[in-house]
Amino acid sequence: MVNSTITFGLQSGQQDSTWADIRDLWLELEEMNFDHLWVYDHYLPTGTNDIDVPVLDSWSLLAALSQIVKTPRLGTLVTSNTFRHPVTLAKMITSLDHISNGRAILGIGAGWHKPEHTAYAIPFSTPKDRIERLDETIQIIKQLWSNKRTTISGKHFKIDNAPFEPKTVQKPHPPILIGGGGEKHTLRIVAKHADDWNWNLNGTINDYKRKLDILNQHCAAVSRDPNEIKLSLNVDFLVDNDDNRIESALRVNADVMKKSIEEVKACSMVGSPEVVRSKIQSYVDLGVTSFIFSLRNPFGVKSTDQMPNKEPRPLRYHATMSDVRRLCQYVLPHFRN
């Protein structure tokens, strides 16, 4: 791991939300002292059976939010590499880095949500091909950020003697977070390029240990010290002493995810403050230094611990602002003091 400081962030998926919803949420989150805040990068909503709800653009939101929240780092968890040309993406991140005075993070992945690609006729090729494109994209962006002129002739992209100004505020460049857990291809790209590897916690701690071992092998293959790569997790969570609510949430999510309740418990941080603290500590012991908690609408400041009554409901039971407040009051101080 890069350092032993534990940081905490929150990802607010911006589906079914207005600008005012997200603005007010982020203002409250900044007051809660989150170290980094994230949006997701989708054209269609995820985790719901209603695809007609609004979804605001990720990078436009971050530029606007950077002028309202002044302290947290800002990023996408994660940018879909299939949506934009590498030069366009590099320019967007560079612009955000200037607008935010050096707080931008490039979170990026190969792209996975096929329905939005189908709906908008965005090419969606094989996983191997998408990983190759991701590899080329990151190579191009890093060179644009570093070189006076960039020339690359790859399988997917060709850049010919291209200038790129301005450079980023952060030196040598904004942190590059690569999301994903694919052991053959994605972790190889992490070993080559990532400043931060983020895994969306969807397995057991033994699954994570195995992936760490494989990442170390990929690092050895490219002669890279794995300790240079920060480890982060994106996690679903609920913090509550109400056993009935916790069990209800686990049953709903187990049914949707086609897993047992015990399997859902293993791949989320759900339970009393003591249980959630213990789960965080188990990953800290493995070298994880950054935790990003996932929040979905309804996340208004008056939201309750109940599932929304409107139809169609979200497919999964998500945390509310009440959970966030309990997280900040009873869990995070244990790691910050």
Q: For 30-50, what is each residue's pLDDT tens digit?
A: 999 999 999 999 999 887 777
Q: Are 109 and 180 in contact (CB under 8 A)?
A: yes
Query: Mean pLDDT in the chain?
Result: 92
Of 36-40, 106-110, 253-257, give the lowest mean pLDDT range: 253-257
In a domain, residue 1? The reply is no
pLDDT reported for residue 13: 86
Tokens of 298: 């309804």
Q: What is the mean pLDDT of residues 106-129?
A: 94
In a domain, residue 2? The reply is no
In a domain, residue 241? The reply is yes
- As a whole number of angstroms, the distance between CA 58 and CA 67 comes to 15
In a domain, residue 86? The reply is yes
Q: Which of 3-12, 13-22, 216-225 has the highest mean pLDDT?
A: 216-225
Q: Are 252 and 191 in contact (CB under 8 A)?
A: no
Alpha helices in 172-286 (DSSP H): 186-193, 205-221, 243-257, 261-266, 273-284
Encode pLDDT of 188-234 as tens digits: 999 999 999 999 999 999 999 999 999 999 999 999 999 999 999 99
DSSP 331: I
Tally the domains of the chain.
1
Residue 148 belongs to domain with CATH number: 3.20.20.30
pLDDT reported for residue 3: 52
pLDDT exceeds 90 at position 252: no
- Containing structural domain, residue 330: 7-336
pLDDT exceeds 80 at position 249: yes
- As a whole number of angstroms, the distance between CA 248 and CA 250 comes to 5
Residues 6+ away with beta carbon under 8 Å from 198: 77, 78, 107, 177, 178, 179, 180, 232, 233, 234, 290, 292
pLDDT exceeds 50 at position 311: no
